[in-house]
Amino acid sequence: MKPPQLRAALSRLAPDVRLYLIHGPDEAAAFDFAAQLGRTMGAGAERIDLDGATLRSDPARLADEAAAMSLFGDARWIRVTGVGEESLEAVTNLLAAARAGNPVLAIAPSLKATAKLVKLAGDSPAAIVTQCYAPTGRAAEQLVTDLALDHGLRPVRGAAQRIADAAGNDRAVIARELEKLALFLDADVGRVRELDGAALDAIGADLGEAAADEMIAALVDGRTAELGAELMRLAEAGAAPVQWLRQLARRLVLLIELRLEADRGNDPAMLVKRRVHFSEEDAVLRAVRRWNAARLARALDLVVAAERAEKSAATAGRVLSDQMAMTLGRAAADRR
């Protein structure tokens, strides 16, 4: 089932569907669907939170929770996060159980379409399976438009594409930006406001892109004093760490490619001239000469891990991202 069809299914729950399995790397979309199920169940519904590790150690737990009655007779539903192949037995028990009145929504970001659990759910009439990838192009623009309407905003004149680009097509970042814009424009579902370039300029929906460039330049150059100041500027501007983490990841990927080409005997200066804008040539060339491919790869791993932590609910968020940036900046400084 495609995401738009899942959204409709979660608005009108079918009594014979026990499991909604959402897999694929767009974890933000999966949590958004979970929130929608919660709204459909009602404000008084009890949510039971489980995870893949719990299901691995107690495979009967999921079916038991799905069949259990609330102490006060209220509606119940189960949200399972971090689901992987270790949950296969638990899901098998759920789908085979004699009864299960409480819907289960399982979030499995690491599972591919070929996974045994995905195939099991896909073959069951009691389950709905949806794969979620971060949208691109027109799909990302449509996502912004759809989410904006939920906040009482009607994007006009390229505003949706601009927000999608600034947020790196990340649903969670887009949602936060739209929340700020709705507050700024005093918009609500019953009080629709047009969202145009003027509003984006006023509160900076392109948040910190230029400032992030300065921060990244300071990081790869090892200018730690300036790096700290640039990180503070980004925080004061309200730039989401996910945004500059993705910019940093793109820069590291570029540097890895250039470094590997240089290691094959190609002239670094000519490589840089062909790949980057002339205004960035000197900075990129210094970075290519300072960092080797192995260190760049380790740095990229740290950035990816920081982005994953930033999206997690149980994390120190910006503190961890800033700490990671300073660690890399100090490492660059040591190689001067």
Query: What CATH architecture is 3-131?
Result: 3-Layer(aba) Sandwich (3.40)
Lateral strand order in the sheet of 104-108: 46-51, 76-81, 104-108, 19-23, 127-131
pLDDT of residue 118: 95
Contact call for residues 111 and 23 (beta carbons, < 8 A)? yes
Instruction: Label residues 62-76 b or e (16+ Cβ within 10 Å = b).
Output: bbebbeeeeeeeebb
Q: Confidence class of residue 232 from pLDDT cuts 50, 70 and 90?
A: confident
Query: What CATH architecture is 137-203?
Result: Orthogonal Bundle (1.10)
At a CB cut-off of 8 Å and minimum separation 6, what does 203 contact? 180, 181, 184
Q: Confidence class of residue 205 from pLDDT cuts 50, 70 and 90?
A: very low
List alpha helices for the chain, DSSP H: 3-11, 27-41, 52-57, 61-67, 88-96, 116-122, 137-150, 159-166, 171-185, 197-203, 209-221, 224-237, 241-263, 268-275, 281-290, 293-311, 318-334
What are the sequence ranges of the domains in the chain? Answer: 3-131, 137-203, 209-334
CATH of domain 209-334: 1.20.272.10
For residue 316, pLDDT over 70 is answered with: no
Highest-scoring range by mean pLDDT, 33-42, 119-128, 135-144: 119-128
Q: Confidence class of residue 189 from pLDDT cuts 50, 70 and 90?
A: confident
Check the CA dihedral 212-276-174-20 and report its sign. Answer: negative
